[in-house]
Amino acid sequence: MRKVAILGIGQTTVDEHWDKSLKELAGEAGLLALADANREYVQSIFIGNMLSGALSKQDNISTLISDWLDLQGSESVKVEAACGSGAAALRNGLIAIASGEVDSALVIGVEKMTESLPVETTEALATAADADYEATQGLSFVALNALIMQRYLYTYGWKHTDFAQFSINAHSNALHNPFARLHMAITEEEYIHARMIAAPINLLDASPIGDGAAAVLLVPAESLKHPSGTYVTILGSASSTDTISVHNRNDPLWLRAAEISAKKAYHQAGVNPDDIDFFELHDAFSVMSALSLEACGFTEKGQAPRLAIEGEIRPSGKIPITTRGGLKARGHPVGATGIYQIVEATQQLRGEAGLSQISDAKIGMTQNIGGSGATIITHILQKNTV
Protein backbone atom coordinates (compact mmCIF):
# COMPACT_ATOMS: atom_id res chain seq x y z
CA MET A 1 0.00 0.00 0.00
CA ARG A 2 1.10 3.55 -0.67
CA LYS A 3 2.06 5.85 2.20
CA VAL A 4 -0.38 8.74 2.58
CA ALA A 5 0.48 12.39 3.28
CA ILE A 6 -1.67 15.22 4.58
CA LEU A 7 -1.07 18.01 2.09
CA GLY A 8 -3.64 20.57 3.20
CA ILE A 9 -5.72 21.44 6.25
CA GLY A 10 -8.66 23.79 6.85
CA GLN A 11 -11.20 24.48 9.56
CA THR A 12 -13.97 26.85 10.57
CA THR A 13 -14.41 28.07 14.11
CA VAL A 14 -16.65 25.87 16.27
CA ASP A 15 -19.56 28.11 17.12
CA GLU A 16 -23.25 28.79 16.63
CA HIS A 17 -23.05 29.53 12.90
CA TRP A 18 -26.57 30.85 12.33
CA ASP A 19 -25.50 32.37 9.02
CA LYS A 20 -24.02 29.20 7.54
CA SER A 21 -25.65 25.95 6.41
CA LEU A 22 -24.09 22.51 6.42
CA LYS A 23 -22.77 22.87 2.86
CA GLU A 24 -21.41 26.35 3.51
CA LEU A 25 -19.48 25.21 6.58
CA ALA A 26 -18.14 22.12 4.79
CA GLY A 27 -17.36 24.16 1.70
CA GLU A 28 -15.42 26.75 3.70
CA ALA A 29 -13.24 24.13 5.41
CA GLY A 30 -12.78 22.23 2.14
CA LEU A 31 -11.69 25.29 0.19
CA LEU A 32 -9.26 26.24 2.98
CA ALA A 33 -7.69 22.77 2.82
CA LEU A 34 -7.41 22.98 -0.98
CA ALA A 35 -5.86 26.46 -0.75
CA ASP A 36 -3.45 25.27 1.94
CA ALA A 37 -2.37 22.47 -0.41
CA ASN A 38 -2.30 24.80 -3.41
CA ARG A 39 -4.70 22.55 -5.32
CA GLU A 40 -7.95 23.27 -7.14
CA TYR A 41 -9.18 19.78 -7.93
CA VAL A 42 -9.68 16.50 -6.10
CA GLN A 43 -10.75 13.10 -7.39
CA SER A 44 -12.72 12.05 -4.36
CA ILE A 45 -14.53 13.50 -1.38
CA PHE A 46 -15.24 11.68 1.88
CA ILE A 47 -17.63 13.35 4.31
CA GLY A 48 -17.75 12.52 8.02
CA ASN A 49 -21.15 13.48 9.42
CA MET A 50 -23.70 12.04 11.79
CA LEU A 51 -26.81 14.21 11.99
CA SER A 52 -27.51 15.89 8.64
CA GLY A 53 -30.65 13.82 8.04
CA ALA A 54 -32.07 14.35 11.51
CA LEU A 55 -31.21 18.01 12.09
CA SER A 56 -30.89 19.55 8.59
CA LYS A 57 -33.32 17.24 6.75
CA GLN A 58 -30.54 16.62 4.26
CA ASP A 59 -29.08 13.27 3.27
CA ASN A 60 -26.68 12.59 0.40
CA ILE A 61 -24.62 15.51 1.71
CA SER A 62 -21.43 14.19 0.18
CA THR A 63 -22.86 14.95 -3.26
CA LEU A 64 -24.40 18.21 -2.04
CA ILE A 65 -20.97 19.33 -0.85
CA SER A 66 -19.05 18.18 -3.92
CA ASP A 67 -21.63 20.07 -6.02
CA TRP A 68 -21.24 23.17 -3.81
CA LEU A 69 -17.45 22.95 -4.29
CA ASP A 70 -18.02 22.80 -8.06
CA LEU A 71 -16.50 19.31 -8.13
CA GLN A 72 -19.37 17.56 -9.97
CA GLY A 73 -18.00 14.46 -11.65
CA SER A 74 -15.78 13.63 -8.69
CA GLU A 75 -16.50 10.65 -6.48
CA SER A 76 -18.17 11.40 -3.19
CA VAL A 77 -19.53 9.50 -0.20
CA LYS A 78 -20.63 10.05 3.40
CA VAL A 79 -19.27 7.85 6.18
CA GLU A 80 -21.09 7.58 9.51
CA ALA A 81 -20.01 6.06 12.81
CA ALA A 82 -21.84 8.39 15.22
CA CYS A 83 -19.36 10.79 16.91
CA GLY A 84 -16.55 8.77 15.30
CA SER A 85 -17.72 9.70 11.79
CA GLY A 86 -14.83 12.09 11.15
CA ALA A 87 -12.04 9.58 11.72
CA ALA A 88 -14.07 6.87 9.95
CA ALA A 89 -14.26 9.11 6.86
CA LEU A 90 -10.51 9.79 7.13
CA ARG A 91 -9.76 6.09 7.28
CA ASN A 92 -11.87 5.38 4.18
CA GLY A 93 -10.18 8.22 2.29
CA LEU A 94 -6.79 7.00 3.45
CA ILE A 95 -7.47 3.45 2.20
CA ALA A 96 -8.70 4.78 -1.15
CA ILE A 97 -5.39 6.62 -1.63
CA ALA A 98 -3.26 3.81 -0.20
CA SER A 99 -4.89 1.31 -2.59
CA GLY A 100 -4.02 3.37 -5.65
CA GLU A 101 -7.72 3.73 -6.56
CA VAL A 102 -7.56 7.53 -6.26
CA ASP A 103 -4.71 10.03 -6.12
CA SER A 104 -6.37 12.72 -4.05
CA ALA A 105 -9.05 12.69 -1.38
CA LEU A 106 -10.62 15.64 0.39
CA VAL A 107 -11.93 14.46 3.75
CA ILE A 108 -14.33 16.86 5.45
CA GLY A 109 -15.97 16.45 8.83
CA VAL A 110 -19.02 18.65 9.25
CA GLU A 111 -21.87 19.05 11.71
CA LYS A 112 -24.66 21.61 12.17
CA MET A 113 -26.22 21.19 15.62
CA THR A 114 -27.34 24.52 17.03
CA GLU A 115 -30.17 25.46 14.70
CA SER A 116 -32.51 22.77 16.05
CA LEU A 117 -34.20 22.77 19.44
CA PRO A 118 -31.93 21.45 22.24
CA VAL A 119 -34.33 18.56 22.85
CA GLU A 120 -34.13 17.60 19.17
CA THR A 121 -30.33 17.66 19.29
CA THR A 122 -30.25 15.56 22.49
CA GLU A 123 -32.65 13.03 20.96
CA ALA A 124 -30.62 12.90 17.76
CA LEU A 125 -27.41 12.29 19.71
CA ALA A 126 -29.09 9.45 21.62
CA THR A 127 -29.45 7.58 18.30
CA ALA A 128 -25.77 6.64 18.73
CA ALA A 129 -26.74 4.41 21.65
CA ASP A 130 -28.75 1.19 21.29
CA ALA A 131 -32.28 2.36 20.42
CA ASP A 132 -33.92 -0.73 21.91
CA TYR A 133 -31.95 -1.24 25.12
CA GLU A 134 -30.47 2.15 26.01
CA ALA A 135 -32.18 5.16 24.36
CA THR A 136 -35.76 4.00 24.89
CA GLN A 137 -34.95 3.36 28.55
CA GLY A 138 -34.35 7.10 28.92
CA LEU A 139 -30.58 6.98 28.74
CA SER A 140 -29.30 10.11 27.04
CA PHE A 141 -25.63 10.29 26.18
CA VAL A 142 -24.70 12.27 29.25
CA ALA A 143 -26.63 9.76 31.40
CA LEU A 144 -24.66 6.85 29.95
CA ASN A 145 -21.39 8.63 30.67
CA ALA A 146 -22.57 9.56 34.16
CA LEU A 147 -23.09 5.87 34.94
CA ILE A 148 -19.59 5.13 33.66
CA MET A 149 -18.02 7.94 35.73
CA GLN A 150 -19.94 6.90 38.84
CA ARG A 151 -18.64 3.38 38.40
CA TYR A 152 -15.09 4.68 37.91
CA LEU A 153 -15.22 6.66 41.18
CA TYR A 154 -16.69 3.67 43.02
CA THR A 155 -14.26 1.09 41.61
CA TYR A 156 -11.00 3.01 41.88
CA GLY A 157 -11.75 5.24 44.87
CA TRP A 158 -11.14 8.61 43.21
CA LYS A 159 -13.17 11.71 44.05
CA HIS A 160 -14.96 13.82 41.44
CA THR A 161 -12.47 16.63 42.13
CA ASP A 162 -9.65 14.41 40.94
CA PHE A 163 -10.91 14.85 37.36
CA ALA A 164 -10.59 18.64 37.48
CA GLN A 165 -7.26 18.77 35.66
CA PHE A 166 -8.68 17.19 32.49
CA SER A 167 -11.05 20.12 32.05
CA ILE A 168 -8.63 22.78 33.33
CA ASN A 169 -5.97 21.61 30.85
CA ALA A 170 -8.41 21.58 27.93
CA HIS A 171 -9.71 25.07 28.66
CA SER A 172 -6.18 26.38 29.17
CA ASN A 173 -5.03 24.97 25.84
CA ALA A 174 -8.04 26.36 23.97
CA LEU A 175 -7.06 29.91 24.94
CA HIS A 176 -4.48 29.79 22.15
CA ASN A 177 -6.70 28.17 19.53
CA PRO A 178 -8.60 30.79 17.52
CA PHE A 179 -10.96 28.09 16.19
CA ALA A 180 -12.10 26.90 19.63
CA ARG A 181 -15.63 27.48 20.85
CA LEU A 182 -14.72 28.36 24.46
CA HIS A 183 -11.97 30.83 25.30
CA MET A 184 -12.05 30.91 29.08
CA ALA A 185 -9.65 29.51 31.62
CA ILE A 186 -11.31 27.65 34.47
CA THR A 187 -10.20 27.01 38.05
CA GLU A 188 -10.54 23.94 40.23
CA GLU A 189 -13.02 25.90 42.36
CA GLU A 190 -15.18 26.60 39.30
CA TYR A 191 -14.96 22.96 38.23
CA ILE A 192 -16.14 21.73 41.63
CA HIS A 193 -19.08 24.10 41.78
CA ALA A 194 -20.27 23.88 38.19
CA ARG A 195 -23.95 23.15 37.61
CA MET A 196 -24.78 19.44 37.82
CA ILE A 197 -26.09 17.79 34.63
CA ALA A 198 -26.28 14.08 35.45
CA ALA A 199 -24.46 13.19 38.67
CA PRO A 200 -21.51 12.98 38.91
CA ILE A 201 -21.08 14.77 35.53
CA ASN A 202 -21.35 18.53 35.81
CA LEU A 203 -21.20 21.24 33.17
CA LEU A 204 -17.38 21.37 33.26
CA ASP A 205 -17.03 17.62 32.73
CA ALA A 206 -19.00 17.82 29.47
CA SER A 207 -17.99 19.06 26.04
CA PRO A 208 -20.15 21.65 24.30
CA ILE A 209 -21.77 20.82 20.95
CA GLY A 210 -21.42 23.31 18.09
CA ASP A 211 -21.51 23.91 14.35
CA GLY A 212 -18.26 23.45 12.49
CA ALA A 213 -16.28 21.81 9.74
CA ALA A 214 -12.68 20.69 9.35
CA ALA A 215 -10.96 19.28 6.28
CA VAL A 216 -7.76 17.59 5.18
CA LEU A 217 -6.46 16.90 1.69
CA LEU A 218 -4.79 13.50 1.37
CA VAL A 219 -2.35 12.54 -1.38
CA PRO A 220 0.11 9.68 -1.86
CA ALA A 221 3.38 10.61 -0.12
CA GLU A 222 5.21 9.39 -3.25
CA SER A 223 3.55 12.20 -5.24
CA LEU A 224 5.51 14.73 -3.21
CA LYS A 225 8.50 14.27 -5.46
CA HIS A 226 10.07 17.54 -4.47
CA PRO A 227 8.63 18.00 -1.01
CA SER A 228 9.73 21.31 0.33
CA GLY A 229 10.03 21.74 4.03
CA THR A 230 7.93 19.77 6.47
CA TYR A 231 5.05 17.50 5.68
CA VAL A 232 2.94 15.07 7.66
CA THR A 233 2.28 11.40 6.88
CA ILE A 234 -0.10 8.91 8.41
CA LEU A 235 1.88 6.07 9.97
CA GLY A 236 -0.94 4.09 11.52
CA SER A 237 -4.71 3.80 11.10
CA ALA A 238 -7.01 1.29 12.76
CA SER A 239 -10.64 0.96 13.73
CA SER A 240 -12.39 -1.44 16.10
CA THR A 241 -15.81 -2.02 17.57
CA ASP A 242 -17.06 -3.19 20.98
CA THR A 243 -20.61 -3.99 22.07
CA ILE A 244 -22.89 -1.05 21.31
CA SER A 245 -24.47 -1.18 24.79
CA VAL A 246 -22.28 -0.43 27.78
CA HIS A 247 -24.18 -2.95 29.94
CA ASN A 248 -23.09 -5.80 27.67
CA ARG A 249 -19.38 -5.32 28.44
CA ASN A 250 -17.56 -7.51 30.93
CA ASP A 251 -15.80 -4.39 32.18
CA PRO A 252 -17.61 -1.09 31.53
CA LEU A 253 -14.41 0.77 32.51
CA TRP A 254 -12.24 -0.76 29.80
CA LEU A 255 -12.39 0.60 26.25
CA ARG A 256 -11.62 -2.62 24.44
CA ALA A 257 -12.06 -0.99 21.02
CA ALA A 258 -9.51 1.68 22.04
CA GLU A 259 -7.04 -0.98 23.11
CA ILE A 260 -7.47 -2.97 19.88
CA SER A 261 -7.29 0.00 17.52
CA ALA A 262 -4.37 1.61 19.38
CA LYS A 263 -2.36 -1.63 19.41
CA LYS A 264 -2.97 -2.11 15.69
CA ALA A 265 -1.93 1.47 14.98
CA TYR A 266 1.19 1.18 17.17
CA HIS A 267 2.12 -2.00 15.32
CA GLN A 268 1.63 -0.42 11.88
CA ALA A 269 3.63 2.63 12.89
CA GLY A 270 6.34 0.65 14.66
CA VAL A 271 6.01 2.75 17.81
CA ASN A 272 4.87 2.33 21.40
CA PRO A 273 3.14 4.76 23.78
CA ASP A 274 6.50 6.21 24.87
CA ASP A 275 7.09 7.43 21.31
CA ILE A 276 3.86 9.47 21.19
CA ASP A 277 4.60 13.16 21.72
CA PHE A 278 0.96 14.21 22.14
CA PHE A 279 -2.46 12.59 22.06
CA GLU A 280 -5.64 14.22 20.76
CA LEU A 281 -8.17 12.03 22.54
CA HIS A 282 -11.96 12.02 22.57
CA ASP A 283 -12.82 13.90 25.79
CA ALA A 284 -16.57 14.20 25.20
CA PHE A 285 -16.76 13.77 28.98
CA SER A 286 -13.79 13.99 31.36
CA VAL A 287 -14.07 10.32 32.33
CA MET A 288 -13.50 9.36 28.69
CA SER A 289 -10.05 11.00 28.80
CA ALA A 290 -9.15 8.71 31.68
CA LEU A 291 -10.47 5.57 29.97
CA SER A 292 -8.64 6.38 26.71
CA LEU A 293 -5.30 7.02 28.40
CA GLU A 294 -5.59 3.70 30.22
CA ALA A 295 -6.76 1.58 27.28
CA CYS A 296 -4.01 2.98 25.03
CA GLY A 297 -1.26 2.12 27.49
CA PHE A 298 -0.26 5.56 28.79
CA THR A 299 -0.90 4.57 32.39
CA GLU A 300 -2.18 1.67 34.48
CA LYS A 301 -5.86 0.86 34.83
CA GLY A 302 -7.55 3.22 37.25
CA GLN A 303 -4.53 5.54 37.39
CA ALA A 304 -5.31 8.21 34.77
CA PRO A 305 -6.47 10.84 37.30
CA ARG A 306 -3.00 10.62 38.87
CA LEU A 307 -1.46 11.41 35.48
CA ALA A 308 -3.71 14.47 35.29
CA ILE A 309 -3.08 15.61 38.87
CA GLU A 310 0.69 15.31 38.38
CA GLY A 311 0.51 17.59 35.33
CA GLU A 312 1.62 14.91 32.86
CA ILE A 313 -1.27 15.69 30.45
CA ARG A 314 -0.29 19.37 30.17
CA PRO A 315 1.72 20.66 27.17
CA SER A 316 4.97 20.18 29.13
CA GLY A 317 4.00 16.78 30.54
CA LYS A 318 4.82 13.22 29.61
CA ILE A 319 1.75 12.82 27.39
CA PRO A 320 0.13 16.15 26.48
CA ILE A 321 -3.57 15.71 25.56
CA THR A 322 -6.23 17.95 24.01
CA THR A 323 -3.46 20.37 23.09
CA ARG A 324 -5.76 22.79 21.29
CA GLY A 325 -8.70 22.46 23.63
CA GLY A 326 -10.05 19.01 22.84
CA LEU A 327 -13.76 18.33 22.66
CA LYS A 328 -14.15 20.03 26.04
CA ALA A 329 -13.11 23.52 24.94
CA ARG A 330 -12.52 23.50 21.18
CA GLY A 331 -16.05 22.06 21.06
CA HIS A 332 -17.65 18.87 19.74
CA PRO A 333 -19.50 19.23 16.42
CA VAL A 334 -19.88 15.47 16.50
CA GLY A 335 -19.21 14.25 12.94
CA ALA A 336 -16.53 16.91 12.46
CA THR A 337 -14.55 16.24 15.64
CA GLY A 338 -12.39 13.45 14.21
CA ILE A 339 -11.13 15.76 11.46
CA TYR A 340 -10.56 18.68 13.86
CA GLN A 341 -8.27 16.28 15.76
CA ILE A 342 -6.32 15.49 12.58
CA VAL A 343 -6.07 19.17 11.62
CA GLU A 344 -4.80 20.04 15.10
CA ALA A 345 -2.30 17.18 15.14
CA THR A 346 -1.04 18.32 11.74
CA GLN A 347 -0.60 21.85 13.08
CA GLN A 348 1.46 20.49 15.97
CA LEU A 349 3.67 18.39 13.67
CA ARG A 350 4.15 21.27 11.25
CA GLY A 351 5.11 23.54 14.15
CA GLU A 352 2.11 25.78 13.42
CA ALA A 353 0.36 25.50 16.78
CA GLY A 354 1.44 28.92 18.04
CA LEU A 355 1.31 29.30 21.80
CA SER A 356 -0.14 25.74 22.05
CA GLN A 357 2.94 24.28 20.36
CA ILE A 358 4.29 21.06 21.88
CA SER A 359 8.04 21.44 21.64
CA ASP A 360 9.81 19.05 19.33
CA ALA A 361 6.61 17.17 18.40
CA LYS A 362 7.47 14.43 15.91
CA ILE A 363 4.75 11.80 16.39
CA GLY A 364 1.15 12.52 17.35
CA MET A 365 -1.83 10.27 17.97
CA THR A 366 -5.56 10.95 17.54
CA GLN A 367 -8.50 8.91 18.73
CA ASN A 368 -12.15 9.41 17.79
CA ILE A 369 -15.03 7.54 19.46
CA GLY A 370 -18.51 6.70 18.20
CA GLY A 371 -21.09 5.81 20.84
CA SER A 372 -20.01 5.07 24.42
CA GLY A 373 -16.80 3.37 23.33
CA ALA A 374 -18.65 1.32 20.69
CA THR A 375 -16.55 2.36 17.67
CA ILE A 376 -13.01 3.64 18.18
CA ILE A 377 -10.62 4.79 15.48
CA THR A 378 -6.97 5.59 16.13
CA HIS A 379 -4.50 7.37 13.86
CA ILE A 380 -0.77 8.00 14.30
CA LEU A 381 0.78 10.91 12.39
CA GLN A 382 4.43 11.69 11.79
CA LYS A 383 6.42 14.81 10.97
CA ASN A 384 8.72 14.40 7.97
CA THR A 385 11.50 16.84 7.31
CA VAL A 386 13.33 16.89 4.03
Q: What is the residue-wise DSSP string for 241-290?
A: E--SSGGGSS-TT--HHHHHHHHHHHHHHT--GGG-SEEE---SBHHHHH
Please, which residue, 23 or 314, has the CB nearer to its own copies? 23
Distance CA 172, CA 27 (A): 30
Distance CA 349, CA 381 (A): 8
Please, which residue, 127 or 357, has the CB nearer to its own copies? 127
Least Å distance, CB 362 to its own copies, is: 25
Please, which residue, 46 or 231, has the CB nearer to its own copies? 46
Total count of residues recorded for the chain: 386
Least Å distance, CB 173 to its own copies, is: 29
Closest C-alpha among 182, 284, 211, 184 to residue 14: 211
Applying CB under 8 A, which residues contact its own copies?
A: 1, 21, 50-51, 53-54, 56-60, 62-64, 66-67, 71-82, 88, 91-92, 95-96, 98-101, 123-124, 126-128, 130-132, 135, 238-245, 248, 256-257, 260, 370-371, 374-375
Closest C-alpha among 276, 249, 188 to residue 371: 249
Query: Which of 17, 171, 332, 379 is flagged as catalytic?
Result: 332
Least Å distance, CB 292 to its own copies, is: 17
Please, which residue, 145 or 322, has the CB nearer to its own copies? 145
Least Å distance, CB 92 to its own copies, is: 6
Distance CA 239, CA 216 (A): 19
Would you call 332 a catalytic residue per the annotation? yes
Tell me if residue 363 falls in helix, strand or coil. strand
Query: Which of 17, 83, 282, 379 is flagged as catalytic?
Result: 83
Q: 190, exposed or middle or buried, with CB in 10 Å at 0-12, 13-18, 19+?
A: middle
Please, which residue, 112 or 330, has the CB nearer to its own copies? 112
Least Å distance, CB 371 to its own copies, is: 5
Distance CA 221, CA 48 (A): 23
Task: Indicate which residues carry an active-site annotation.
Answer: 83, 332
